[in-house]
């Protein structure tokens, strides 16, 4: 059974640009959540999607957005990139929002220069 | 903000030593997960605990869920260099979910 797949693994962008990251959950999992990991702030929740609907959102500015497709794949978008957006972005999948377990992808390392 | 406080924050020990990492919250968990993360990689699930007082073993790792379901511990027996990494507790369900612990960075020296 394939795990959670995130693409791309590494990305370098310039300040002011926008970026789109992709996450394919485990087959059969319908809930996808996104996290930002930085050395200073640790792992912070961005948002969760289930059945193409955003169910929960963390405390991040509106420049961070996401969506989920009918096949449960999810994308997150960051517009007007800032240097502080440099981080490891992780997504996790679970069966549904009530699922007890979440499984993480390897992450996308975003560097903003 | 409902935090998951982990202690200690950093731990550097010699191979063969034992250690315990703690995860505490002011609110009750419905379930808790422990992960280990290596640099540049995503967290890898070690265990999920659900029942108060539950003890689970994974080779040399022993996980305990507090009776009141507000705390958990991870004990490693005879640590090895391969145990080096960032250990994270995570609330995956219930109220205040999607919260990670503050993390314990473990280094095991050969």
pLDDT band at residue A56 under the 50/70/90 scheme: confident
Please indicate whether, in this complex, the C-beta atoms of A43 and B40 are within 8 angstroms of each other.
no
What mean pLDDT is reported for chain B? 90
Task: Determine which of B1, B30, B51, B98 to mutate to test the interface with A (most A C-beta atoms within 10 Å).
Answer: B98
Smallest Cα–Cα separation from B30: which of B100, B94, B97? B94
Note the pLDDT of residue B96: 55
Is residue B2 scored above 60 in pLDDT?
no
Question: What is d(CA A84, CA A106) in angstroms, rounded to the nearest whole number?
Answer: 21
Question: What is d(CA A69, CA A50) in angstroms, rounded to the nearest whole number?
Answer: 10
Question: pLDDT tens-digit profile of B28-59?
Answer: 877 889 999 998 889 999 999 888 999 999 99
Does A100 contact B at CB distance below 8 Å? Answer: yes
pLDDT band at residue A1 under the 50/70/90 scheme: low
Question: What is d(CA B80, CA B11) in angstroms, rounded to the nearest whole number?
Answer: 13
Please indicate whether, in this complex, the C-beta atoms of A45 and B98 are within 8 angstroms of each other.
yes
Number of A to B CB contacts under 8 A, please give it.
51
Question: What is d(CA A9, CA B54) in angstroms, rounded to the nearest whole number?
Answer: 37
Residue of B nearest to A90 (CA): B42
Task: State the residue for tokens 């903003």.
Answer: A112
Please indicate whether, in this complex, the C-beta atoms of B50 and A100 are within 8 angstroms of each other.
yes
Note the pLDDT of residue B73: 97
């Amino acid at each position: 059974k394939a795990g959670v797949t995130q693409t791309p693994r590494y990305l370098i962008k310039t300040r002011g640009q926008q970026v789109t990251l992709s996450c394919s959950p485990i087959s059969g999992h319908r809930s996808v959540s996104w996290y930002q990991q930085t050395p200073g702030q640790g792992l912070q929740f961005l948002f969760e999607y289930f059945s193409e609907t955003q169910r929960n959102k963390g405390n991040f500015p509106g420049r961070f957005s996401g969506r989920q497709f009918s096949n449960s794949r999810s994308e997150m978008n960051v517009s007007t990139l800032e240097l502080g957006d440099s981080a490891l972005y992780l997504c996790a999948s679970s069966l549904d929002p009530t699922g007890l377990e979440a499984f993480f992808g390897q992450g996308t390392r975003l560097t903003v220069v | 903000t409902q935090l998951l406080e982990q202690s200690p924050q950093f731990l550097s020990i010699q191979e063969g030593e034992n250690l315990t990492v703690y995860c505490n919250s002011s609110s009750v968990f419905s379930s808790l997960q422990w992960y280990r993360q290596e640099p540049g990689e995503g967290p890898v699930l070690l265990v999920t605990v659900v029942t108060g007082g539950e003890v689970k073993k994974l080779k040399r790792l022993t996980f305990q869920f507090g009776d009141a379901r507000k705390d958990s511990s991870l004990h490693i027996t005879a640590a090895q260099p391969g145990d080096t990494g960032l250990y994270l507790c995570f609330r995956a369900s219930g109220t205040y979910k999607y919260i990670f612990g503050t993390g314990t960075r473990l280094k095991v020296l050969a």
